[in-house]
Amino acid sequence: MDLRRITGTLGLTAVVILAILLDSSLMGFLDIPSLLMTMLGGMAAWGAMSGRGVATLAQTLRSENASASDLAAGIETVRAGKRSFWMVSIAGTLIGFTQMLQSLDDPSAIGPATAVAFLTIFYALLTNLFVLSPVETRLRERLCMAHAPPLPVSRLDDDLAHSRKAMDALKARVRSTTEQTR
């Protein structure tokens, strides 16, 4: 992981935690049943949707020289994981709302029950944001590198020389324009 990714992840984590702490406590965002529903249910649904794809994805991520087809398959597996977590979180939210509606006779229970119902979506969002999307991005980068042939050194030298000539011509033009306006 490079410094920009680490910095971005830490910055995003700080923003999320700060947003939570501005008006409540971190413990208000922890609900074990919602967390278990989202995480265990999401992983189970992902396994059901992808079959052996999750195990193959793990091998592809560990491999230094994975093939383009393995990387593409890994991307599709991650996409299936994203869909799985979102679907399970929506199911958890519907379950939470159903439980909330069953206790409408107690108005004091509606607020906390609604919060718990939304936490399944929050957990899926965090899973996608901090785990699955970065994995997908890394796989996409590796796939692009696998398809992009490296430029030969002579080509790089030619491009650099061309860029220098263009910069010199631009500088001369700016100087000429500046002198004419004086």
Of 139 and 167, the structure prediction assigns the larger pLDDT to 139
- Alpha-carbon span 36 to 95, nearest angstrom: 13
Ordered by start, the domain boundaries in the chain are: 1-29, 31-148, 153-182
Whether the pTM exceeds 0.85: the reply is no
pLDDT tens per residue across span 116-162: 889 999 999 999 999 999 999 999 999 988 876 665 666 767 777 78
pLDDT digits (tens, 9 = 90+) for 104-114: 888 888 887 88
Helices 53-62 and 32-50: angle between axes, nearest 10 degrees: 90
